[in-house]
Chains A and B, each alone.
Chain A
Amino acid sequence: MNTHSWREVRRQLRESGPAGLVAVALVTVASAWGGALWTLRGWVRSELLAQGRDTAVVAIARGPAEVASLKAALSERFPYLPSAALSPRKVQEELADWFPELSTVLLTLDERSFPPLLQVQVPHGQEAAVAAFLQARPEVTLVESSSGWQARLERAVSRFFYAGSALALALLVACCAVVLLVVRLLVLNHADEIAIMRLIGAHEGDIRRPYIVCGALLGLLGGALGAAVLLAVRAALRAALPALAIDPWLLALLPAGGAAAAAAGAALGLASLPAEP
C-alpha cells in the first residue's frame, strides 16, 4: 500500500457514505453482541457451573427413621463422605431461610408436608457412584444431585449461546452483504477509472487492494466500537456482577473479526469487477 492507495482508501471511505455507516453499525452490534455472549458464557461457567468443586447429593427418605438407617448405611459404604440428616422440621426451616418472602407461609405449614432428607457432600467425580448407591436403597424415594442441576443449566446456557452465536453470525453476514453492496456500488461508480488504471499499467492488486482495505477498515471500526460498547456494559455491571471479566484477547479479536468479515464482503463485491480482455 503506497500513498496513492491510502489516498484512494480515504476517498472510498468518504464515498461509502450512509451505506458504509450501516456496515459499521452492523459490525458494532454483531461484535458487541458476540463479545457479550462469550463473556456471559465464561461468567456462567466459572461462577455457576464451576467444574471440579464438591457436589451436593440429596436423598429424600420415606420417613425420619429411614433417614437414620440410610445415614448409617452410607457411612458404612462411604466412610469418608460428610453427610447430614435433615428432619422435616429442619427442611422447613432451611426452605424458609432460603426464601424469606415465602417464610411466613412455609413456617405455617404442617411440618409433615416436608420430607426428611439426607444431604451428602460428594467430591467431584464420585456423584454418580453415590447417587446410584442411594437410589438403590429401599429407604429412598428420590435422589437429586446439584451436578444434575448444573448439567441442565449448562445445556440451557449452551442452547442460548448457540442461538446467540447464530444471531451474531447472521449480523456479521449482513455486514458482509452491506460491505459487498458498498464495494459493488463503488466499483460501478469507478468503472471508467478502473479501466484507465489498467490501461496505464496498474495490476489487479493495485486496483483491488484499496477496496479490500476500505471494507476492512469499516469492519475494523465497527469491531472496535463493539469492543468499546462491551467495555461500557462491563463497567455498568461492575457493581452487580464483580466477577464478570472480559478476556483481553476477546477485545483484540472483535476488531480483527469485524475487519475480516468486512474484507470478505469487499472481496465478494469485487467479483463484479469485469476482467481484462
Chain B
Amino acid sequence: MIRLEGISKSYNGRQALRAITARVERGEFLFLSGPSGAGKSTFLRLLYRAELPDSGNIEVNGSDLLRLRRREVAEFRRRLGVIFQDFKLLRRRTVAENVTFVLSLLNLSERDQQRRAYLVLKQMGLQQRTGAFPDELSGGEQQRVAIARALVLQPDLILADEPTGNLDPERSHELLELFKTINYQGTTVVVATHDRGLIAAHPARTLFLERGSVVRDGWGSAA
C-alpha cells in the first residue's frame, strides 16, 4: 500500500526528512508520532504528492509518485482521503458544497452527491450546519467538515494530519473510534499526531519521528 525507500527532503537547506524507509501494508492502521518539527507533516505531504522528495522512491496505492503525470496526480488523489492540519476548506462554499465538491469530481449524480454528503455530515454531527460557510464554523466544526470531506470518498487510504488538534477529548476519541471502524473495513489509515495519550488509548503501530528520522517503529505509545 505504502512503500518509502530512502526518502529525504529538505527545505532551504534544512533537512526535514532523512533517508526514511518504511512500509505500510493494505488495511494497516499507523500512527506517525513525534514532536513538532519532526517531519510528520512532510511525511504525509509526500504521501499525497503535495511535495516531491529530493531523493528516494515512494509508492502509494500502487502508484510510483515520482513517475505520475500531472493528470494522473488528480486521479491518484481522488483515491485518498486527506485530512489537513489547517482543514483546507473551500471558503466560498458551504459545508455541503465542500463535501459534495469531491464527489462531483467523480461524476456522481447530484442526487447521489447529496445523499452521501448528508450521511457523512450526519455522522459528523453537522447535519444542521450544511448551509453554513467555513468562516461561520468553530475550529472543531471546520475540522469535522474536513474529516467528512475525506471520508465521503470512501477512500482506500486515509491520511490525517493532526485530525484531533481542534477537537475536545470526547470528540477526539470518537474520531479515533471512527477511524478504527473504517480501518476494520479494510481502509488503510495513517494518522499524524503528537498526542501520546491518544495513541495510548487506541494502540496501533506507531512510527516515531525525530528530526526527520524514524527513531522507533513499534506498537502503541511505547514506540
Residues of A within 8 A of B (CB): 2-5, 7, 11, 190, 192-193, 196-204, 206, 275-277
**Inside 8 A of A200's CB, which chain B residues have their CB?**
77, 82, 88, 101-102, 105, 149
Whether the pair A3, B82 counts as a contact (CB closer than 8 A) is no
Q: In chain A, what residue has the closest Cβ to B90? A: A193
B217 → chain A, closest Cβ, in Å? 27
Q: Would A202 and B51 be within 8 Å (CB), given that A2-B104, A3-B104, A193-B92 are in contact?
A: no
Identify which of B67-75, B184-192, B196-204 touches chain A: B67-75
**Is there contact, CB below 8 Å, between B51 and A277?**
yes
Interface CB pairs A-B, < 8 A, 13:
A4-B97, A4-B101, A190-B92, A199-B77, A200-B77, A200-B82, A200-B102, A200-B105, A201-B74, A201-B80, A204-B70, A277-B51, A277-B52
The 4 closest A-B pairs by CB, nearest first: A201-B78, A201-B77, A196-B88, A4-B104
CB distance from B109 to the nearest CB of A (A): 10
Docked Cα-Cα span, A116 to B131, in Å, equals: 91
- Chain B residues in 8 Å Cβ range of A201: 74-75, 77-78, 80, 102, 105
CB distance from B58 to the nearest CB of A (A): 14
Main secondary structure of the interface of A (DSSP, over half): helix
**Inter-chain contacts of B48 with A (CB < 8 A):** 199
Q: Which residues from chain B contact A190 at a C-beta distance below 8 Å?
A: 92
Chain B residues with CB under 8 Å of A276's CB are 70, 73
Residues of A within 8 A of B97 (CB): 4, 7
B110 is an interface residue with CB less than 8 A from chain A = yes
B3 to chain A, nearest CB (A): 21
Instruction: Tell me the complex Cα distance, A277–B65, Å.
Output: 12
Bound complex: CA A65 to CA B219 (Å): 127
B contacts with A, residue count (CB < 8 A): 29
Does B216 touch A at the CB level, under 8 Å?
no
Chain A residues within 8 Å of B171, by CB: none
Q: Complex Cα distance A277/B90, Å? A: 21
Q: Is B122 interfacial (CB 8 A cutoff)?
A: no
Specify the chain A residue showing the minimal Cβ separation from B108: A2
Contacts of B52 in A (CB 8 A): 277
| Binary CB contact string for chain B from 47 to 84 against chain A (1 if under 8 A, 0 otherwise) | 01011100000000000000000110111011010101
Q: Tell whether B91 is near chain A: CB-to-CB under 8 Å.
A: yes
Residue of B whose beta carbon sits closest to that of A203: B74
Residues of chain A contacted by B90 (CB below 8 angstroms): 193, 196-197
Name 9 extra pairs, CB < 8 A, besides A193-B91, A277-B51. A4-B101, A7-B97, A197-B90, A198-B77, A199-B48, A199-B88, A200-B105, A202-B74, A277-B52
* Contact between chains at B104 and A198 (CB < 8 Å): no
Which residues of chain A are near B92, meaning CB under 8 Å? 11, 190, 193
- Alpha-carbon separation in the docked complex, A204 to B102 (Å): 14
Please, which residues of chain A bring their CB within 8 A of the CB of B50?
199, 277
Instruction: Please report the C-alpha to C-alpha distance between residue A42 and residue B51 in the assembled complex, in whole angstroms.
Output: 60
Q: Is B100's beta carbon under 8 Å from chain A? A: yes
Query: What's the nearest-Cβ distance from chain A to residue B51, in Å?
Result: 7
Query: Which residue of chain A has its CB nearest to the CB of B110?
Result: A3
In the assembled complex, which residues on chain A have CB atoms less than 8 Å from the CB atom of B84? 199
Closest to A15 in B: B92
Q: Which residue of A lies closest to B153 (CB)?
A: A201
Partner of B71, one of A4, A199, A203: A203
Asked whether, in the complex, the Cβ of A198 is within 8 Å of the Cβ of B100, the reply is: no
Q: Which A residues touch B102, using CB under 8 A? A: 200-201
B37 nearest CB across to chain A (Å)? 22
In the complex, A82 Cα to B88 Cα: how many Å? 88
Chain B 7-25 per-residue mask, 1 if CB under 8 angstroms from chain A, else 0: 0000000000000000000
